[in-house]
Amino acid sequence: MGHRAVPFAPDVSVRVGGSLVAIRKWQESRSPEGTPGRSGRNHLRVLAAAGSHPEARVAEVLDQVDLAGAADRRVKGYSMGMRQRLAIAAALLGEPDVLILDEPANGLDPPGIRWMRALVRSEAARGRAVLVSSHLLSEVAQSVDDVVVIAHGVLRGSGPLESVLGGADAPVTRVRAADADRLAALLRERNHFVEADPSGALFVRGASPEVVGEVAAEHRVALAELVAVSRSLEDAFFELTEG
């Protein structure tokens, strides 16, 4: 049985950073899971009609998400990654000023994740604001310029990625010492954040290897390892949300 989409005027229109964002309602679901018997192309055609978008946009977004070759297959035969691409194609139909993606890498294989990363960067380069919500922090760190950290509904941190990570102002040093407990106490006396991992290594935040080495030398603490390590977005997340 055929489906007919009935477009409506925007229910809500708001401006976000000077960009007009219209929220519409229609009788067809945006989700490809809602129409498994329909082809990917027809799913997008329905959404294009409902949103008053030119039908030519359907072919354009299918090419953009690399689904042109599977466009006439039924959605129920799509893999999870293909359905994710189709959902992203639907989001791109209206050429929005603000693109919001929730867990966009979900279901994608490694080449698909690389493609998603490139898509996010290319859309941002076109002048669009791209908001990505994700728990894959290592992936987020490779794609974004700015970070917002929210835990239990509370804003815990925000700013440019380098600022949240700490950059040059918050170095992290891994050190192994013959008397790790004593060295940790000495470093904490100097207001450095120190934590130990199960292997016995100390991670000192806010102190370079040179600073840690000077403290160890001054107090004659023998060292077995002293190296600078990169601080990850996951590290920053837990520091901002725990304690």
Report pLDDT digits (tens) over 193-202.
Answer: 898 888 889 9
pLDDT of residue 174: 93
pLDDT of residue 19: 47
Query: Per-residue confidence at 34, pLDDT binned at 50, 70, 90?
Result: low
Round to whole Å and give the CA distance between 103 and 66: 19
pLDDT of residue 188: 94
Do residues 131 and 99 touch, judged by C-beta distance below 8 A? yes
Round to whole Å and give the CA distance between 125 and 122: 5
pLDDT of residue 3: 39
- Among 23-37, 45-59, 135-149, 153-167, top mean pLDDT goes to 45-59
Round to whole Å and give the CA distance between 164 and 172: 14
Round to whole Å and give the CA distance between 159 and 178: 39
pLDDT of residue 177: 95
Reported as a single tens digit per residue, the pLDDT across 143-173 is 899 999 998 889 998 998 877 876 545 678 9
Round to whole Å and give the CA distance between 198 and 50: 56
